[in-house]
Amino acid sequence: MKTQQILSLNAFQPGETAGLSDDVAVLVERRKRSFGASSVLFYQQPLHVVSASGATIRTADGADYLDLYNNVPSVGHCHPKVVEAVQKQVALLNCHTRYLFDNVHDYAERLLATFPVALSNLALTCTGSESNDFALRIVAMATGGTGFIVTQTAYHGNTTAVTEVSPSSYKVGAPPKYVRTVPAPDPRVFPGDLGAGFAQAVRAAIAALEADGIKFAGLLVDGAPDWDATVQAIGVEGDFSFLAFPQGSGRVRLYGSYALDQRRRFAGPDGPAAFLEAFRMVCSPDNVHLAGARPIGPLLSYFNNDAWTDQPFAPGAVLVGDAGGWNDPIIGLGLSITYRDVRIVTNILKADADWARADFSPYAEERAERLRRLRFTAALVSALEAEFGAAARARRDSLHERASLDPSLRAHTFAVMAGPEVLPPEIFTPEHRARVLGEAA
């Protein structure tokens, strides 16, 4: 299939000036003298623009054009509120951010509030090129790698680093050795399962990098924008159990459980791609959006186990969070446990100015029962959601059917969502477990 550089698809060809109006021909020549012949100009009949408003851009001959190009401001051209705000700020102060002033911090806090908690810092950039350059540096530092994979006609900007990962910027030659290209996810290139075909191309590119002694650092593709940001999902199919928690802006936090005898299943450089591929499930067709997403963090595997101490304090020391023992991460309550620990210990310390007299026995007693209930809950969730085979599937099917008639069979889930203390003690007994798993006599 024939391909073209992105910027050449609608570019003005300098040698083809026939038919240009006098004013446009003069401006084209002036541009060539000032910016050079390699400067990209749009359209074979370049537009001599003079004003814009909303989604409309006007040329010198009075013609209006609907601006559907990628650089149109998201609120439209010359939005009156934007114009007013810019005029007001420029008349007051216009400087860099190495000084302290209110507006930039107000803006930063409002912007960060729209992102997941983990994205807690802001770096302001002037251009898309600078943003992508910064992204390359971050991922290289985080991974220790230098290799990048991009699509064959990609364009990412104009800095040296970004140009090197922009194949469409090369009129002659090719990107450097540490940059590898793959076809864009196009059904004409990857007939059948588009996601699987593209993933295989990426895996092959990673392998080629590593064969040349280059560690893979990053893959520049889109994330998972088609995953419904209001949907959290849990499911089991075959020998893989998954959890999906959308974080906004096309990001989804993913978890997977698999059998201990497959401990190397997602190890090595192909691990992240293999992990995403495991999300393709008949039981959850929308998982295709997860399988085709771009990993933006490390893939870590660990045992789902528990640890605890009966007495989380000693003279001069008290243990909170994981230091005092952790809960099976399948129910994801590590931070919640820590926050509650800290609150209880803080209240004990605040009750007496002489901390040497602090009695942490109530904390130890409460924590022991809390973690016991959570261990019970995690073990029950594991039996339902992280065991595989025909018997495990029959167990899940049975619970779904019985719980539709008796919701109390799912009462243990409130220990995860609202805290174990909100439930009566009988929920955390062998009898309740047997009822849930269909093992009651």
Report how many domains make up the chain: 3
Q: Which two tokens stand for residue 402?
A: 């019985």
Residue 141 belongs to some domain of the structure = yes
Q: Which of 179, 201, 219 is the last residue of a domain?
A: 219
Residue 318 belongs to some domain of the structure = yes
Distance (Å, whole) CA 262 – CA 144: 27
The Cα-based distances of 273 to 143, 247, 270, 294 in angstroms read: 16, 20, 6, 9
The DSSP call for residue 77 is: B
> Which bin fits 238, alpha (ψ -120 to 50), beta or left (φ > 0)?
left
Distance (Å, whole) CA 409 – CA 427: 9
Phi, psi of 190 (to 5 degrees): -120, 75
Residue 45 belongs to some domain of the structure = yes
Amino acid at position 1, single letter = M
Tell whether the model's pLDDT for residue 1 goes beyond 60: no
**Domain span including residue 318:** 313-436
Instruction: Compute the average pLDDT of residues 341-369.
Output: 92
- Examine the domain organization and report whether 320 and 416 are in the same domain: yes
Q: Which of 66, 88, 115 is the last residue of a domain?
A: 66
Residue 256 belongs to some domain of the structure = no
Distance (Å, whole) CA 278 – CA 290: 10
- Examine the domain organization and report whether 349 and 422 are in the same domain: yes
pTM value > 0.75:
no
Closest CA to 152 of 132, 130, 174, 135: 174
pLDDT digits (tens, 9 = 90+) for 319-335: 999 899 888 888 888 88
pLDDT digits (tens, 9 = 90+) for 274-296: 889 999 988 888 888 888 888 87
Residue 377 belongs to some domain of the structure = yes
Residue 229 belongs to some domain of the structure = no
- Examine the domain organization and report whether 418 and 322 are in the same domain: yes
Quickly tell me which residue has 């186990």 as its tokens: 305
Closest CA to 290 of 234, 244, 236: 244
Which of 16-30, 127-141, 204-218, 304-318 comes out lowest in average pLDDT?
A: 204-218
Distance (Å, whole) CA 70 – CA 155: 13
Distance (Å, whole) CA 195 – CA 14: 40
End-to-end Cα separation, the chain, in angstroms? 66
Residue 179 belongs to some domain of the structure = yes
Distance (Å, whole) CA 43 – CA 17: 11
Cβ atoms of residues 48 and 59 within 8 Å: yes
Residue with the bigger pLDDT between 170 and 348: it is: 348
Q: Look at residue 3 in the predicted model and tell me its pLDDT.
A: 52
Residue 271 belongs to some domain of the structure = no
Q: Look at residue 59 in the predicted model and tell me its pLDDT.
A: 92
| 222 band by pLDDT with thresholds 50, 70 and 90 | very low
- Examine the domain organization and report whether 324 and 429 are in the same domain: yes
- Examine the domain organization and report whether 133 and 203 are in the same domain: yes
Instruction: Compute the average pLDDT of residues 163-182.
Output: 84
| 4 band by pLDDT with thresholds 50, 70 and 90 | low
| 155 band by pLDDT with thresholds 50, 70 and 90 | confident
Q: Which of 178, 193, 219 is the last residue of a domain?
A: 219
pLDDT digits (tens, 9 = 90+) for 382-433: 888 888 888 999 999 999 889 888 888 999 988 888 888 889 999 999 999 9
- % of the chain at pLDDT higher than 70: 94
